[in-house]
Amino acid sequence: MQKSSPNLTLMNFVVLFYVLVSASKLLTRYAVAPHILIAVVYFGILSFIYNRRDYFVLVCTSFLFLTFFFSFLEFRHFGWQFFWNTWLLHKTALYLYTFLLLPSLFLTYTLNFFQLSTDMGAWSKKGLFRFFIPVIVKKELIVHRYKNIMDALWERGYDTTKMLKRLQLLYLWMVPLIVTTLMEGVESYEYNQMLNSDITLYVPKRNLYKVSPLQKVSFWFLVAVLFVLIVLRYV
């Protein structure tokens, strides 16, 4: 018997997070809950449910770092009141951490990328998706290409031994990595076409998971609720 797709369940959890945050904005007249605190608690609980201790440690350490850093930067003091005021700051870095980094990392740690191509269904036949699928199922190609680019930069005299140095050289290696990754996907797609075995139509002999109707309904219901909550903020 097929089980419900774990990937769509994860996506529903992420959308539910945005729903909770939007709902909290409408309830500010009754109680104030910092968005970053909601995110940390929410994804911390999910990390325990999915037994992702490494992700939980990452969430805790990054949250503590940002709390102490901005508390000192803005108030030059430490304490519960200053921490609370820090969590309420309207800082781009805190917004990116709360609404982009934590949800993205959660999906990175939990998504089944090999099942993703099956979950995408008809979308896997459209646009860049058909080139993207061969890449995510062979992600070692990206890592190998990245190492080749770092070696090439090293031979040209750039220091690529430390992460900070590599980040400083981001403008040099990011574009070649993206372009070559897309090329890998195109080549893999064309290779499968040559063999008359379209990878986008591939179905495992035993697909253990499926996207259940309940998951679909839940996803679109959460999206609709999120849209309504966003509209209500401006009404």
Q: Where are the domains of the chain?
A: 114-204
More confident residue, 15 or 197: 15
Q: How far apart are CA 79 and CA 86, in angstroms?
A: 10
pLDDT value at 189 more than 60:
no
Cα dihedral: 124, 130, 132, 136 (round 10): 70
pTM as predicted: 0.61
> Any idea what DSSP says for residue 126?
S
Work out the average pLDDT over 5-21. 86
Q: pLDDT tens-digit profile of 167-183?
A: 777 777 777 777 766 66
Structure tokens, 91 = 């800082």
Structure tokens, 73 = 């930067």
Structure tokens, 3 = 């089980």
Work out the average pLDDT over 188-197. 60
Q: In Å, what is the CA distance from 197 to each residue of 51, 116, 189, 194?
A: 37, 19, 9, 8
Q: How far apart are CA 36 and CA 196, in angstroms?
A: 50
Q: How far apart are CA 165 and CA 31, in angstroms?
A: 44
Cα dihedral: 224, 230, 233, 235 (round 10): -60
Work out the average pLDDT over 205-209. 53
**Contact criterion met (CB below 8 Å) for 135 and 142:** yes
Q: Percentage of the chain surpassing pLDDT 90?
A: 12
More confident residue, 162 or 45: 45
Structure tokens, 171 = 């403008």
More confident residue, 60 or 174: 60
Residues found in the chain: 235
